[in-house]
Amino acid sequence: MTDYLIVGCGLAGIAFAEKALDEGKSIIVFDHNQNSSSRIAGGLYNPVILKRFSEVWRAKEQLQLLEGFYQKIEEKLNFKFNYKLPILRKFYSVEEQNDWFTASDKPNLSDFLSTKIVTDKIDGIDAPFNYGEVLHTGYVDTVSLIEKYKDYLIDKSCLIDGAFDYNEIVFKEDYIQYQFVEARHIIFAEGFGIHSNPYFRYLPVDGTKGELFIIKAPELKLDLIVNTSVFILPLGNGLFKVGATYDPIDKTQEPTEDGKQLLIERIKEILSCDFEIIAHFAGIRPTVKDRRPLIGTHPEYSNLHVINGLGTRGVMLWPQMAKELFENIECGTTIDKEADIRRYEKRRSLFP
């Protein structure tokens, strides 16, 4: 008997798998979504919403768990994924500088926003009003993390590569039969694919398309992350990841010409040097209108659970949410009401 059958091997699925394994539980993972948004994510973790100079929801808790979580995976897989890098917010006016200092005085932001203006010059970027530095930041190489973690699961004979057929779930008295697998619980970590799930499709995962580039800019001398209307993240050898767009209408996985032109315009607003587009990617982020995750247990089927809905914040939030969901299942602890799927129970009647 397997403890957990996990559907999805993106960041959410990996986070729950790690928590379950740490607690001595057995798992089987279905890698059903090759176009996972985790594969095209920027991978940044940042405790501040820089557009509004406000704190990310439960940021301090997330950061406390984040470092140990990724460090443990790095040691297990003998591969580095987590890179601690400063994030600089480019200022466009004296007013923005003043807004930054006002925000840095707030108790919930004082640990995250440096009060020292960064005046260092960066070759390839004109910044007459300089930068503000966000503290406790970095990025996770999500593509390598997923690939290496899948290899690890294959070595442990815990990975099944293929689509998940919901019609083959058979509910037994105290477990679930799925094909040849008997499992105590199923964890659905499907991202935008939740719309095909008959048990959880009532949850309001809207999906926001994001597009990003890999560019080559040899004249850009940047060894940290710059964030303005887009982020610019150094990859080495003159290569940079740049993104991302936000399109709530288009639900396709393919890059678009409109997305390309928008990114080019925003890059030109930041860079004063030439650049070449090396690659162009797109994916659908599992976003929710209230900007909170979706975790919890199905109201009728106590063996079915979901972890979804983080949009752009998954790298930072999934370790915390996986811990919360696991402890709710195993120990009966309470899920934060802002994340609990019970807040959308009234929608379920609309999806027979």
Task: Give the DSSP H/E element, type plus range, for residue 326.
Answer: helix 314-331
Average pLDDT of the segment spanning 66-87:
95
CB atoms inside a 10 Å sphere around CB 137: 22
- CA 197-35-284 angle, to 5 degrees, is 75
Please provide the average confidence, as pLDDT, over all residues in the chain.
94
Q: How confident is the model at residue 351 (pLDDT cuts 50, 70, 90)?
A: confident
3-class SS string, 196-245: HCCCCCCCCCCCEEEEEEEEECCCCCCCCEEECCCEEEEEECCEEEEECC
User: pLDDT tens digits, residue range 128-179?
Assistant: 999 999 999 999 999 999 999 999 999 999 999 988 999 999 999 999 999 9
**Are 140 and 71 spatial neighbours (Cβ–Cβ below 8 Å)?**
no
**Are 258 and 120 spatial neighbours (Cβ–Cβ below 8 Å)?**
no
Residue 41 confidence (pLDDT)? 77
Residue 243 confidence (pLDDT)? 92
Residue 34 confidence (pLDDT)? 54
- CA 31-235-153 angle, to 5 degrees, is 20
Average pLDDT of the segment spanning 340-346:
96
Residue 240 confidence (pLDDT)? 97
Residue 349 confidence (pLDDT)? 82
Q: How confident is the model at residue 33 (pLDDT cuts 50, 70, 90)?
A: low
Q: How confident is the model at residue 313 (pLDDT cuts 50, 70, 90)?
A: confident
Q: Burial code of 39-71, b = ≥16 C-beta within 10 A, e = fewer?
A: bbbbbbbbbbebeebebbbbbeebbebbeebbe
Q: Give the tokens for residue 150.
A: 């899948």
Residue in this structure with the two tokens 């009060």, named with its chain if needed: 115
CA dist., res. 274 & res. 276, Å (int): 7
Contacts of residue 323, Cβ cutoff 8 Å, sequence gap at least 6: 19, 65
User: pLDDT tens digits, residue range 256-308?
Assistant: 999 999 999 999 999 999 999 999 999 999 999 899 999 999 999 999 999 99
Torsion of CA 315, 305, 252, 166, to 10 degrees: 140
Q: Give the tokens for residue 145.
A: 């993390």
Q: What percent of the chain is predicted at pLDDT more than 90? A: 89
Question: Packing angle between helix 59-77 and helix 11-22, nearest 10 degrees?
Answer: 80
CA dist., res. 255 & res. 284, Å (int): 11
SS3 percent helix, strand, coil of the chain, rounded to 5, is: 30, 25, 40
In terms of CATH architecture, what is 86-136+208-285?
2-Layer Sandwich (3.30)
| The one-letter amino acid at 37 | S
Closest residue by Cα to residue 240 from 255, 218, 260: 218
Residue 159 confidence (pLDDT)? 97
User: pLDDT tens digits, residue range 10-31?
Assistant: 999 999 999 999 999 999 999 8
CA dist., res. 319 & res. 90, Å (int): 30
Burial of 229 (0-12, 13-18, 19+ CB in 10 A): middle
**Are 135 and 113 spatial neighbours (Cβ–Cβ below 8 Å)?**
yes
Q: What's CA 51's distance to the chain center, in Å?
A: 18
Q: Give the tokens for residue 118.
A: 């960064």
Q: How confident is the model at residue 112 (pLDDT cuts 50, 70, 90)?
A: very high
User: pLDDT tens digits, residue range 298-307?
Assistant: 999 999 999 9
Q: Give the tokens for residue 174.
A: 């105290």
In this predicted structure, the answer to whether residue 32 has a pLDDT above a threshold of 80 is no
Q: How confident is the model at residue 35 (pLDDT cuts 50, 70, 90)?
A: low
Written out in words, the top-level CATH class of the domain with range 2-43+143-204+289-350 is: alpha beta
CA dist., res. 142 & res. 307, Å (int): 18
In this predicted structure, the answer to whether residue 39 has a pLDDT above a threshold of 70 is no
Residue 42 confidence (pLDDT)? 83
CA dist., res. 270 & res. 127, Å (int): 8
**Are 285 and 270 spatial neighbours (Cβ–Cβ below 8 Å)?**
no
The domain locations on the chain are 2-43+143-204+289-350, 86-136+208-285
Q: What percent of the chain is predicted at pLDDT more than 70? A: 98
Residue in this structure with the two tokens 């007013």, named with its chain if needed: 95
Residue 36 confidence (pLDDT)? 61
